[in-house]
Amino acid sequence: MKVKKLSKAQIIIAIVLIVVLIIAIPTVIYCTKNKETPVQMVQTIFNDNKKLIGKWQDDSGLLGYEFKEEGVYDSYISNFNFTGKYTAANKKLTLKNTKTNGTVVYAYEVKGDELTLTLLETNGQAPTNQEEVHTFKKVDEFNFKTITDAIQELADQFGISSEDDTEEENAEATSDAEDEDTSEEATEEETEEATEEETEEATEEDED
């Protein structure tokens, strides 16, 4: 039995069909999982990446990110910043520290001026604690608190006295102690004087 040879046109058509299937199968899986049409999928991939561009700061005033178009980001902790590279695809944001080669992967979502990051893994390891979620607001300029201000706010929140307050309390306690010592000394002096007067009176009576 002779095997029928395919014409060049048939071969090209077969190759095109194979390529389409290779593209279509993952697309169908992605769209089914995320409940999106292929058009929405393309819009999500390209538009969400563009939505990431800009400055983002959290409500604590300590954490922030700036994503730039060339795939570079700056991560901020108060006024300290670290630079690295990022990629964003399929609603996953991968941050790579170019100095340490450490990587962090987040699931990300952009809604208007709000960015939500959910930690998926750090250096290939999934988080062991409860789900870690961070929310950031888009800002024109960063306005970070200093570490000292943040510590003071926590101290105030939990009713912990600051170093200055402790010094004032110690000074007041010292002053009160000094006043008590002075009062005791005065009382002792008065007692001694009264005793001396009584002794003198008794001596005079004896002489009489």
3-state secondary structure 46-67: HHHHHHHCEEEEECCCCEEEEE
Among the ranges given (16-30, 52-66, 108-122, 164-178), the one the predictor scored with the smallest mean pLDDT: 164-178
User: How much is the average pLDDT of 1-24?
Assistant: 74
What tens digit of pLDDT does each residue of 163-195 get?
555 565 566 656 665 665 555 565 566 666 656
Q: Output the pLDDT for position 190.
A: 62
Check pLDDT > 60 for residue 7. yes
Model-wide pTM > 0.85: no
In degrees and rounded to multiples of 5, residue 86 shows phi and psi of -135, 155
Decide: helix, strand or coil at residue 174.
helix
CA neighbours closer than 13 Å in the CB half-sphere of residue 98: 10
Please, what is the end-to-end C-alpha distance for the chain in angstroms?
Answer: 161
Neighbours of 147 (CB within 10 A): 13
Closest CA to 48 of 117, 127, 126, 102: 117
